[in-house]
């Protein structure tokens, strides 16, 4: 008989939306880190897909994306190069930036996002003056948008990591 593996998602008893979003964002970030750290330097910088992005480019996109939505977007704070993950219509990683640097930035961004989710109501609207100059999405809307970005891109990354021989799916290593 096959052994059942517990899906490592957040606790299903969570009922507070902020806690649920915080836990799901942590889950997606951890899965991103698991995949990225399993790849060699060469695999991080090699494309295996027709759209030509690399796993390192995916990582920089997700780092910038979360910052754009929560720090620059919701809080309205100025950030250095909010679109720094893009160049000439494609994802871009400067030559002096490596995976370790981006993983530290991911962790720093996670702490800021956690602060936002701990100190603001989910029905609060984003500040004007950062990313937003006229529309003001609610924090819960931003959370859903960020979750779908992580989910969609982790699916893309699964394909690239599988082609590079790394781990896929959500099951813990045995």
Q: What is the CATH classification number for the domain harbouring 140?
A: 1.20.120.450
Q: Is 17 a member of any domain?
A: no
List the chain pLDDT tens, one digit each, 174 residues. Answer: 344 344 566 666 667 889 889 988 998 999 999 999 999 999 999 999 999 999 999 999 999 999 999 999 999 999 999 999 999 999 999 999 999 999 999 999 999 999 999 999 999 999 998 899 999 999 999 999 999 999 999 999 999 999 988 877 766 554
Q: Is 147 a member of any domain?
A: yes
* Full domain range(s) for residue 48: 25-163
Count structural domains, the chain.
1
Phi, psi of 119 (to 5 degrees): -120, 5
Predicted model pTM: 0.90
Q: Is 168 a member of any domain?
A: no
The 10 Å CB-count burial string (b at 16+, else e) for 12-48 is eeeeebbebbbebbebbbebbeebbebbeeebbeeee
Q: Is 124 a member of any domain?
A: yes
């Amino acid at each position: 008989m096959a052994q059942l593996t517990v899906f490592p998602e957040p606790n299903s008893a969570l009922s507070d939306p902020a806690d649920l979003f915080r836990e799901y964002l942590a889950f997606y970030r951890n899965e991103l880190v698991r995949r990225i750290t399993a790849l060699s330097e060469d695999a991080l910088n090699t494309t295996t897909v027709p759209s030509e992005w690399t796993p390192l480019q995916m990582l920089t996109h997700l780092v910038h994306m979360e910052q754009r939505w929560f720090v620059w977007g919701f809080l309205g704070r100025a950030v250095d190069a909010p679109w720094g993950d893009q160049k000439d219509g494609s994802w871009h990683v400067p030559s002096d930036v490596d995976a370790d640097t981006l993983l530290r930035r991911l962790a720093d961004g996670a702490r800021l996002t956690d602060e936002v989710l701990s100190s603001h109501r989910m029905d609060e609207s984003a500040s004007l003056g950062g990313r937003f100059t006229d529309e003001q999405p609610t924090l819960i809307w931003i959370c859903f948008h960020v979750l779908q970005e992580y989910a969609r891109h982790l699916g893309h990354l699964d394909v690239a990591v599988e082609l590079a021989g790394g781990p896929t799916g959500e099951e813990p290593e045995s």
